[in-house]
Structure formats: C-alpha cells, structure tokens
C-alpha cells in the first residue's frame, strides 16, 4: 500500500519571503514623534535659560540693594527726601525715599518728642530693563539718633 504524500498547493508567481524592516509609514511616524519631542525639549530648555537669566538679574539687584540699605546713614546722616542713583553702568537704577514714619494707628498726629530720636521710613526701589525688565521694592525703618538728625 502506498501512501500519497500531501503536497502544498503551488502558488502562482514568485515565492514570497518574509519582509524584515520598517514600512515608510512607520518611519514617518517615528520622525514625527522625534520632531515633536525635540521641540518640547528645546522649548523647556530655552524657558529654563530665560529663568536663570532673570534670576541672575534679580539676585544682583538684591545684593546691590542690601549693600545700599546697610550703608544708608553710615557715611552721611540720612536726610528726608529722594535720592537717585545707578549701578553697573546704568544697568540698574535705584530710588531711595526717606520720610518720617507715621504710625498707621496714630493717623497723621505729629510726634511730641522733638529732641529725642525719631523713626524714619526708607523705601528703596530698584529697576532694570534687561530681559523684560523688573522692579523690586524694599521698605524698612531706621531710628535716627538726635545727633545724626539734620537741621530743618
């Protein structure tokens, strides 16, 4: 008895091989995703660089302001009025306003102590124009001894 061996059906045309690799559509999608992720990454990095630049400007302004406020009244007596100045070749402009301190609860009542020390309010504003510009304001109080007061 002979057994018949089943043969696979013959296909018409050349034999097919299994294709290995990527289709054009897969390559295009991969490039689109890569472009999108690089765009987001570069946007984040440029935003971070801008924030670092602004932080540098602000920290320099703070250092200059601390120096000015620490030295206010040391070399010359504080006088009421406004003083203007600049730092770093006009990169930062400052304005210092010195005025008598008025207790908010006391209203506009003048102090009865004429010969004693008195309290003055210092308001320092620092401005700069680089990278969107900015402004910082400080307010502090100083006690002026009678010997350092200027005559009105």
Q: Does residue 7 lie in a domain region?
A: no
- Does 48 fall in a domain? yes
**Does residue 3 form part of some domain?**
no
pLDDT along the chain (152 residues), means of 10: 62 66 92 95 89 90 92 82 92 94 72 70 92 88 70 51
Looking at the structure of the chain, the number of domains it has is: 1
Is 111 a member of any domain?
no
Residue 20 lies in a domain: no
Q: How far apart are CA 141 and CA 52, in angstroms?
A: 32
pTM exceeds 0.75, yes or no:
no
- Does 12 map to a domain? no
In a domain, 86, yes or no: yes
Task: Check which CATH number belongs to the domain holding 65 and give it.
Answer: 3.30.1300
The range of the structural domain enclosing residue 38 comes to 25-105+116-148
Give every strand in the sheet of 118-128, ordered side by side.
Answer: 81-87, 92-100, 118-128, 134-144
Half-sphere exposure of 27 (CA within 13 A, CB side): 4
- For residue 129, being part of any structural domain is answered with yes
């Amino acid at each position: 008895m002979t057994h018949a061996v089943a043969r696979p059906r013959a296909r018409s045309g050349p034999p097919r091989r299994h294709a290995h690799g990527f289709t054009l559509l897969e390559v295009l999608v991969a490039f689109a995703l890569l472009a999108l992720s690089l765009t987001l990454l570069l946007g984040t990095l440029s935003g971070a660089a801008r924030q670092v630049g602004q932080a540098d400007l602000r920290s320099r302004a703070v250092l200059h302001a601390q120096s000015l406020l620490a030295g206010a009244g040391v070399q010359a007596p504080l006088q009421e009025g406004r003083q203007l100045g600049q730092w770093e070749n006009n990169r930062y402009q400052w304005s210092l306003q010195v005025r008598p301190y008025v207790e908010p609860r006391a209203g506009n009542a003048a102090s009865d102590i004429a010969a004693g020390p008195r309290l003055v309010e210092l308001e320092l504003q620092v401005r700069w124009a680089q990278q969107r510009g900015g402004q910082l304001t400080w307010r502090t109080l100083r006690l002026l001894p009678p010997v350092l007061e200027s005559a009105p």
